[in-house]
């Protein structure tokens, strides 16, 4: 599915601030700036220490929309700081909208013995906790701010692709990575239950999942292609390497009425997501423009 990284990408849509000051002027203006302050967001400080820590972690990924035109290194700190500023504005909505974040503080998964204690574990945990908080608040903002229109929905539905499903009912068979991938005939028409029994007899500890609905536009491109190929072949996929296991996917056949209802639900979910994203970007732009935000002048790169 679409990873939580979408919510972080949503934060970075605004353009960089521009300032009509020279580098020399910026240095002079920075003399009166609070120590270790990268930015002030409505009276709250984002420190240089926080900014440098996020830069060291590298969790913001590709900052340029074009892979062939990466951002110059000198622009990256300000780009990341802009995202951090917008995150602060979003996080402030938890109190304003009375959103409870207490249940997101459960850290049991990080104390499990199956996760080794490594230097990078703590920043990974903090980053995950940050993403979870942002995800919940952003989802609430989207739900509060979006507005639906019957006319827009009907236009959206008319453009929905009808030649192939976008919402799949899927089962998966998982086999530990400690074994070699099981060999499968390209002409095999066995279903996953038959394959599970076959692999168990051959010594593979196979685990069959329950059937779940997956929506193609919310999946990473690799898995979406696997499901589409399995659907077109009307057969289980070849083993796909995933974290901790080999996975074999099967798209279950549906009767025409069930498939039509599934597509209608998928289209409606996509429409609601689209309207929510548009509403969030409008809200963020308005909130950003109204906020009292000051950036350390020394971070603003301008020509002499």
Planar angle of CA 52, 58, 60, nearest 5 degrees: 105
- CA pair distance 101, 107, nearest whole angstrom: 13
- CA pair distance 230, 250, nearest whole angstrom: 6
* 3-state SS assignment for residue 5: helix
Highest mean pLDDT among 134-143, 220-229, 239-248, 249-258: 134-143
Confidence of residue 214 (pLDDT cuts 50, 70, 90): confident
pLDDT at 95 over 70: yes
Confidence of residue 8 (pLDDT cuts 50, 70, 90): very low
pLDDT at 120: 53
When pLDDT is averaged across residues 226-239 and rounded to a whole number, the result is 87
DSSP letters, 146-168, are ----HHHHHHHHHTS--SS-SEE
Mean residue pLDDT across the chain? 77
Highest mean pLDDT among 38-47, 167-176, 218-227: 38-47
Confidence of residue 28 (pLDDT cuts 50, 70, 90): very low
Give per-residue pLDDT as tens, 130-183: 888 899 999 999 999 999 999 999 999 999 887 778 888 999 988 877 667 766
Burial pattern 190-215, b for ≥16 Cβ within 10 A else e, equals eebeebbeebeeeebebebeeeeebb
Looking at 4-18, 169-183, 288-302, which range is the least confident one? 4-18
- CA pair distance 71, 62, nearest whole angstrom: 9
Give 171's strand partners: 250
Look up residue 32 and give its DSSP letter. Answer: G
Written as six digits, the tokens of 15 are 């353009």
Domains of the chain: 5-145+278-299 (1.10.4030), 167-253 (no CATH)
The backbone torsions φ and ψ at residue 167, rounded to the nearest 5 degrees and listed phi first, read -125, 115
pLDDT at 118 over 90: no
Confidence of residue 63 (pLDDT cuts 50, 70, 90): very low
pLDDT at 234: 85
190 or 281: which leads in pLDDT = 281
The backbone torsions φ and ψ at residue 286, rounded to the nearest 5 degrees and listed phi first, read -65, -45
When pLDDT is averaged across residues 84-109 and rounded to a whole number, the result is 79
Give per-residue pLDDT as tens, 252-266: 888 888 888 989 998
pLDDT at 25 over 60: no
Give per-residue pLDDT as tens, 190-204: 788 888 888 777 777
When pLDDT is averaged across residues 119-124 and rounded to a whole number, the result is 60
pLDDT at 62: 44
| Burial class for 163, CB neighbours closer than 10 Å (0-12, 13-18, 19+) | exposed
Give 299's strand partners: none
Asked if residues 33 and 298 have their Cβ atoms less than 8 Å apart, the reply is yes
When pLDDT is averaged across residues 277-289 and rounded to a whole number, the result is 95
Written as six digits, the tokens of 193 are 């239950």
When pLDDT is averaged across residues 274-302 and rounded to a whole number, the result is 90
* 3-state SS assignment for residue 54: helix
- CA pair distance 20, 24, nearest whole angstrom: 12
């Amino acid at each position: 599915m679409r990873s939580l990284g979408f919510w972080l990408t949503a934060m970075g849509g605004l353009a960089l601030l521009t300032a009509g000051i020279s580098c020399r002027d910026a240095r002079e203006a920075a003399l009166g700036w609070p120590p270790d302050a990268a930015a002030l967001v409505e009276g709250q400080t984002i420190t240089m220490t926080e900014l440098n820590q996020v830069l060291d972690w590298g969790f913001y990924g590709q900052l340029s929309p074009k892979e062939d035109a990466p951002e110059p290194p000198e622009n990256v700190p300000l780009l990341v700081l802009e995202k951090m500023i917008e995150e602060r504005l979003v996080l402030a909505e938890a109190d304003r909208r009375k959103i409870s974040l207490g249940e997101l503080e459960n850290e049991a998964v990080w104390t499990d013995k199956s996760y080794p204690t490594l230097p990078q574990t703590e920043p990974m945990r903090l980053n995950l906790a940050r993403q979870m908080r942002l995800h919940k608040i952003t989802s609430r903002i989207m739900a509060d701010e979006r507005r639906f229109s019957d006319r827009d929905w009907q236009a959206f539905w008319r453009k929905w692709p009808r030649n192939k499903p976008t919402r799949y009912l899927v089962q998966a068979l998982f086999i530990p990575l400690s074994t070699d991938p099981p060999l499968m005939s390209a002409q095999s028409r066995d279903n996953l239950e038959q394959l599970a029994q076959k692999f168990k007899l051959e010594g593979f500890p196979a685990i069959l999942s329950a059937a779940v609905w997956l929506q193609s536009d919310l999946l990473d491109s690799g898995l979406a292609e696997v499901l589409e190929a399995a659907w077109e072949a009307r057969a289980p996929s070849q083993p796909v390497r995933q974290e901790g296991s080999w996975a074999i996917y099967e798209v279950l056949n549906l009767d025409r009425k069930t498939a039509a209802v599934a597509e209608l639900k998928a289209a409606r979910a996509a429409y609601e997501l689209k309207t929510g994203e548009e509403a969030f970007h409008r809200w963020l732009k308005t909130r950003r423009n109204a906020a009292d935000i000051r950036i350390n002048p020394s971070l603003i790169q301008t020509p002499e």
